[in-house]
Amino acid sequence: MSYLTEIIRFNEEENEKNDIIYQLLKKELIESLNIYNLGNNLFGVYFVHIIKYLTGSLIRQNEIKENLVLEKFKSETIRTIPFFGYYDLKSKKLSNKSLGLNIKKKFKIKSQIFNYINIFNNKKFYADVLEIFSKDDMNKFSKDKKIYIHKKTNKFFFENLDQQIIMIKEIIRKIHKDFNFEINEEIFVNLFERHIRKNCFEGLSEFKFYSDKLITNGLVDTYNRMIASKAKKYGIKIINFDHGYSSGLFDDQILFNETLYTDYFITYGDFLKNNIHKYNEIHNKKIKIISFTKKYNVNLKHLVNLKNKKVIYYPTTLRTIKRFGPYIDMNLKNYLKLQKHIFDNLDSKVTIKLHPKDNTQKIIRDFHGSNCNYSEINLYDSFKTCKVAIFDFPGTAFFEAIDNNIPVIFINNYQRKFPKFVLEKLKELCFIINLDELNKLKSINNLKINPNKQNLFSQSLAKDIQPIDFYV
């Protein structure tokens, strides 16, 4: 069996198990909403943490069994729930965890929030925001825009707390019995209870809001979900921003989690809005999708002569020891092998564009050595020297390459869950190669790639975006 076949087998089996866990959890959550609404539903708040706790633990146990742990990470311990490190699992030392939410004191406001709010030029706009603003940030808003900043808190109150915790523990027990976590059931279940009780208390204490709108920058984050649940309790409308600069790519748990609490989902491009009825993971049928364009253009004056341009590979960043599933990202050891297989099918030496925030830069360099060139320059500067861009994950860089008319090849490694109607649309924007077709890369200079069509994943055709019930 070739290692490419082995990688595909491993990914399929891993995602299949994790998807069973996710579907069971989602079914239990939807049923729990009949008892506890989103304004007082503890399971809803901790839903993402429970997914990470269960699927992440199963993933790491399986990686240990299959000898897929890189030496660098074998001694890693993770101090905070919901994750265990490889050393934690092998040593069975699980009780020394720091419990409770890892609440950051400061969040830097994302530029898209500025850009969106400032659309309402002469309109008065009031909103609560879960971000920290500097004085310079505040000066970017006009005097008619009042933004109320929430100080971080680590105590939250729920009605029927004990009953809700018992329900969550029973759900974890049920899944623990069906899968081999190799962790004592009582330790596993009780540790998560202690994690919840670090921040959650029985009671009716009110959470103060100052407007009728709450702006959040992602509702996969458990702290944001906590505040969103309080907003739901008081009828506050939630405006949530999509995480990346493209929307509607995947019909998966991320879409479910980003939209469950959301009243208005601010996305990039018209694709999700125009096809919302096709997505299975949008449980919230009352959600309104608002879209606008996110597009950078490269300064064409400084483009390099065509004969000096390079084939550039843009790897995705991996969570490595904090990986969870299903359909998020793959084992790092397998990913490196897959990269080698891609490069072996190229006639020319590839340049790897390293991500500045990726903690695996040295691992990638050490693994591929002198077989590849490496670049750490700015993303948009890399476009100026790029003849063909190769991606195996369609994220921000992927679409910004397309928006700048860079020929793009997408290697579909089957890790993410694309709906068929999404893949058909992507074929209009790039050249898609499946893992069993990598020999096509040998003809890279002859591939017909047309990235010039309207990219509705990050571009909107709407010229005037003014949802009238956002301002007063």
Asked whether residue 177 falls in the same domain as residue 304, the answer is: no
Asked whether residue 178 falls in the same domain as residue 315, the answer is: no
Asked, for residue 285, whether it belongs to a domain, the answer is: no
Asked whether residue 199 falls in the same domain as residue 306, the answer is: no
Q: How many CA atoms lie within 13 A of 256 on its CB side?
A: 18
**What is the residue-level pLDDT of the chain in tens, covering all 472 positions?**
587 888 889 999 999 999 999 999 999 999 999 999 999 999 999 999 999 999 999 999 999 999 999 998 899 888 889 999 999 998 888 877 888 888 765 555 555 666 666 655 456 667 777 765 555 655 555 555 677 777 788 899 999 999 999 999 999 999 999 998 999 999 999 999 999 999 999 998 778 888 888 988 889 999 999 999 999 999 999 999 887 767 899 999 999 999 999 999 988 888 999 999 999 999 998 899 888 776 555 554 445 555 667 899 999 877 778 899 999 889 999 999 999 999 999 988 999 999 876 678 889 999 999 999 999 998 889 998 998 999 998 888 898 898 888 889 999 988 888 899 999 999 888 999 998 888 888 877 666 666 556 788 888 776 545 543 444 3
Cα–Cα dist 196/219, whole Å: 18
Cα–Cα dist 268/456, whole Å: 8
The DSSP code sequence of 446-472 is G------S--TTT----S----GGG--
- Burial group, residue 107, by CB count within 10 angstroms (0-12, 13-18, 19+): middle
- Burial group, residue 460, by CB count within 10 angstroms (0-12, 13-18, 19+): buried
Quote the DSSP letter at residue 80. B
Give me the CATH number covering residue 404.
3.40.50.2000
Cα–Cα dist 4/251, whole Å: 26
Q: Nearest 10 degrees: CA dihedral of 217, 218, 221, 227?
A: 60
The verdict on whether omega for the bond into residue 326 sits within 30 degrees of 0, i.e. cis, is yes
Asked whether residue 55 falls in the same domain as residue 160, the answer is: yes
Owning domain of residue 342: 300-446
Asked whether residue 195 falls in the same domain as residue 86, the answer is: yes
Provide the domain count of the chain.
Answer: 2
Q: Pick the last residue of a domain from 204, 226, 242.
A: 204
Angle at 77 between CA 73 and CA 78, to 5 degrees: 115
Query: Bridge partners of 222?
Result: none
Token code pair at residue 252: 């998966």
The helix (run of H) or strand (run of E) holding residue 292 is strand 288-292
Asked whether residue 59 falls in the same domain as residue 194, the answer is: yes
The pLDDT assigned to 53 comes to 97
Asked whether residue 306 falls in the same domain as residue 197, the answer is: no
Token code pair at residue 291: 């879209």
Asked, for residue 138, whether it belongs to a domain, the answer is: no
Asked whether residue 58 falls in the same domain as residue 166, the answer is: yes
pTM over 0.85: yes
Contact assessment for residue 320 and residue 9, using Cβ atoms and an 8 Å cutoff: no
Asked whether residue 194 falls in the same domain as residue 319, the answer is: no
Asked, for residue 451, whether it belongs to a domain, the answer is: no
- Altogether, the residues listed in the chain come to a count of 472
Amino acid at 183: I
Asked whether residue 193 falls in the same domain as residue 304, the answer is: no
Asked, for residue 28, whether it belongs to a domain, the answer is: yes
- Strand-pair category, 213-216 with 200-202: unpaired
The pLDDT assigned to 470 comes to 47
Asked whether residue 317 falls in the same domain as residue 192, the answer is: no
Asked whether residue 34 falls in the same domain as residue 180, the answer is: yes
Asked, for residue 23, whether it belongs to a domain, the answer is: yes
The pLDDT assigned to 236 comes to 93
Asked, for residue 283, whether it belongs to a domain, the answer is: no
Asked, for residue 177, whether it belongs to a domain, the answer is: yes
Quote the DSSP letter at residue 262. -
Asked, for residue 250, whether it belongs to a domain, the answer is: no
